[in-house]
Structure 1
């Protein structure tokens, strides 16, 4: 289990050791147990040793407030689950390691690096390992594709390819995207086809004035979030 130090609330500019709470998961776990917000709040109060109001829990579940790491631990204890069952997808190497309950030393040994070199990669969230070390990274930390692409500093390159794919002949980009994102080409094929189709629905043909400007803003917003759009579609299993 992570130590108490792993669960503190990070200061400004410091990476959080945990992904943010996923409100849907938190609600789902509570409802599966048949517990009311008041019952969970009582259990959180007992764990923390001081009062905890049900309204705060509801704010977490609605996404209007964000719990600290220690509060996430208290909520997980109240719901009889691991913190990872309540959280979103890890976005950094640090978050991957924390969710697995590994120490820096264990992660470094697992990927075949010195402690200092691995700790620096985690601190900067920049991965520069060899091919063998990268394969070990997947086996030890199991980073999600989005996390790995970010850690390798390839997000900008990926965005360029995705923008060209949705505005052009997308099948030509399955291979190049697969070289960046550690995802099966068949899954990338499916996601790119969806993205291209959705972008093409944003049609500016024959529009003028404010209507044309609205469509243009919609298209730009789609392209600005193109990498997020990809990850969202890759998380949804094929029908």
Structure 2
């Protein structure tokens, strides 16, 4: 199976990226490769990390003044930066925590996509600001949230079809999505998940975690939304990660 890992990062995440790449080295097998992408202002520092961990040099990607949105646009175009048939996304605040190969990411021949109904989050009084903007871009009411847990894997053709949808439905390109959002209220993975779910094409196998439960954890993510701009690693997190990577 031609499935590779894609990471979009930047200079503030270099320490975290090193842990991510070490976890891939320790736990991952059977993947076609690892592609790291970063903007030009990060290339020197990120290159030092990929070299020290034994991975290929990073690939240059787009950059916006608001790079929180810029990095999401990179991911929406991940197929342009790598050649894998299936692209497995993780962020550089994530580490693999157990032995993993591509078959662990699939169900019934398609990538597994976890989801949960938005009503579940509203009922639990959680803030879920992505529903309205995702519905706007997909062009219909979206009833499910699709960013339940990393890693997130998509077939190559889906990126192409999603960009075609944007061009045909909205009359603008997906790279211009930043012009049509309010602040930072955008979620690339929710957009891709919703497009897949409501499409006639069978890109994924879907599982509602409120019905079927959550499978065994493959990747642990350390940064929460509240700490998005603070990329330092706490002493307790660093100790935990080191224990995982050296066990």
TM-score, structure 1 normalization: 0.27
User: 1 or 2 for the larger relative contact order (CA 8 Å, sep ≥6)?
Assistant: 2
**Could you say which structure has the higher strand fraction?**
2
TM-score, structure 2 normalization: 0.27
